[in-house]
């Protein structure tokens, strides 16, 4: 078997552009997932608030219990049935963000619950409302504990983002498929695509390790 990477080199500019799009959709999805995850995670702290807790739990159940690809297709092919036309990039970002948000919500909930209950009680005894205590006392500590698992979620998002190529988004995988359609060198192209994904996840891992190291040096992460 002879490997010919000539089509890869010729299409490298497209692959690099696809890598940039992959990073863009991943970062946008992570931002959305953090916002959604924070709200859902807080909503699932108190089962006594049945309506809010029920809605949040249903969201987590659906997005964690169904395939990401199905969720993306529901947005991209389903919304037009209701005359809602969204760009492919937006559908991919929302789909990835909502899917990831269901996992981030558990990270948020776990981090908040790891903070000693006495701190909330002390804050309330000082006259703070629940919201003030959560915003000023609890969340700042919890956010620092979320950094390592959020980093893992970011890396998972980079890999999961390959599915948005099925929505015609010109990400890394889609650009690779375009080269294959012309050259028929699937093995070489997929090897190159895998290598670029590896580079992206490795860079992300190193950046996250650096952030965690600095936080530990500052004594802020236990």
| Cα separation, 180 vs 70, whole angstroms | 25
In this model, does residue 108 exceed pLDDT 60? yes
Provide the Cα torsion 67, 69, 73, 79; round to 10°: 60
Would you say residue 222 has pLDDT above 50?
no
Task: Count CA within 13 A, CB hemisphere, residue 121.
Answer: 3
Is 60 exceeded by the pLDDT of residue 107? yes
The CATH code of the domain at 17-171 is: 1.10.3720.10
Burial of residue 148, with CB atoms counted within 10 A of its CB: 0-12 exposed, 13-18 middle, 19 or more buried: middle
User: Are 146 and 211 spatial neighbours (Cβ–Cβ below 8 Å)?
Assistant: no
Name the token pair of 186.
Answer: 């699937």
Cα separations in angstroms, 127 against 121, 133, 135: 10, 9, 14
For the chain, the domains span: 17-171
Integer Rg of the chain from CA:
21
Give 29-97 as a DSSP string: HHHHHHHHHHHHHHHTS-TTSHHHHHHHHHHHHHHHHS-HHHHHHIIIIIGGGGT----HHHHHHHHHH
Least confident among 42-56, 90-104, 114-128: 114-128
Tell which residue, 152, 197, 157, has the closest CA to residue 173.
197
**Residue indicated by tokens 């981090």:** 111
**Tens digit of each residue's pLDDT (9 = 90 or more) over 194-206:** 999 999 999 999 9
Q: What is the mean pLDDT of the chain?
A: 90
Position 221 scores a pLDDT of 46
pLDDT at 217 over 70: no
């Amino acid at each position: 078997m002879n490997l010919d990477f000539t089509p890869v080199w010729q299409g490298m500019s497209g692959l690099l552009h696809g890598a940039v799009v992959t990073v863009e959709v991943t970062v946008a999805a992570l931002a959305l997932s953090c916002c959604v995850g924070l709200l859902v995670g807080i909503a699932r702290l108190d089962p006594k608030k049945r309506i809010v807790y029920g809605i949040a739990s249903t969201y987590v159940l659906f997005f964690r219990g169904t395939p990401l690809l199905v969720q993306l297709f529901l947005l991209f092919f389903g919304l037009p049935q209701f005359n809602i036309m969204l760009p492919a990039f937006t559908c991919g970002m929302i789909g990835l963000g909502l899917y990831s948000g269901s996992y981030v919500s558990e990270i948020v909930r776990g981090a908040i619950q790891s903070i000693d209950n006495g701190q909330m009680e002390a804050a309330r005894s000082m006259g703070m409302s629940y919201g003030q205590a959560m915003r000023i006392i609890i969340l700042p500590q919890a956010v620092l504990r979320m950094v390592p698992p959020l980093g893992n979620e970011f890396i998972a998002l980079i890999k999961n983002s390959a599915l948005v190529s099925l929505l015609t988004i010109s990400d890394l995988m889609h650009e690779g498929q375009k080269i294959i359609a012309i050259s028929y060198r699937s093995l070489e192209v997929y090897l190159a695509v895998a290598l670029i994904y590896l580079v992206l996840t490795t860079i992300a891992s190193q950046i996250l390790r650096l952030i965690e190291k600095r936080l530990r040096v500052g004594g802020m992460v236990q």
